[in-house]
Structure 1
Amino acid sequence: MRWAFFIDANLEPRTAEILGKEGYRAEYSDYVLDEDADDEVDILPYVQQEELIIVTADIKNFAPLADSRHEGLLLVNNQRASAYAIANAILNIVDAYGSPTNMLGKVETLDPWIQE
């Protein structure tokens, strides 16, 4: 298992680009699914099948994940944070957790990890 991320459409696509340049699989929602993709019907099955950690500012729509099997959920409260700051926070989490298996089923708020 390797680190892989699904960047939700409510964040900048640049976040996925930065993570990709760092060697991580990072998919941007609108680029891999329809722009009108439904969270429960389309996104959740896709991320579970592809074993992707969700990065989102859409806290209420992904809250049900907390009770199901998932690769991990990274929540962003500060939507004003730059794509660079968010990507950097994700990289700090990667370093802190060491292995993606340590992120299984976890929900982490990115804001304390963001440094601008």
Structure 2
Amino acid sequence: MNVDQFIVYTVLLRLKESMNQGEFFMSIRSMPIAYALFIQYCRQQNRRLMEDLFYQEDNFQEEGTCKVINSFRQDRLDDRIEELRLAQSCFLKSKNEYARMVGGKFGFTNTRDSVIVADDQKIIVA
């Protein structure tokens, strides 16, 4: 990390501590470099904060991606399925047509008839 990045990270973390979360998110939104560095920080240190940022900005594509990653961190199958359903919901809200298509392809339904977990392994849930 170079000195400029270190300074930006320091300022970002101080701002985050001194502002409420919504104000902080809105303030960094207009600064592309700071925003990108904050996302990078969150990916490594605080994934939940990154998901909150995507939620506030209605960035359904990235929020859905976070939920898919969260699903693999769950120990219980029911928790994994719930995270994947939340991801599907985000992808369906997304304006990205490919993500909408993929979200619908997995066939999550309210009746919990089947779920594709990973690598095309189909698990039947009764």
- TM-score grouping bracket, smaller chain normalisation: under 0.3
TM, length-normalised to structure 1: 0.27
Name whichever structure is richer in helix by fraction: 2
TM-score for the superposition, normalised by structure 2: 0.25
Looking at secondary structure, tell me which structure has more strand per residue: 1
Which one has a bigger Cα radius of gyration?
Answer: 2
* Structure number with higher relative contact order (C-alpha < 8 Å, ≥ 6 residues apart): 1
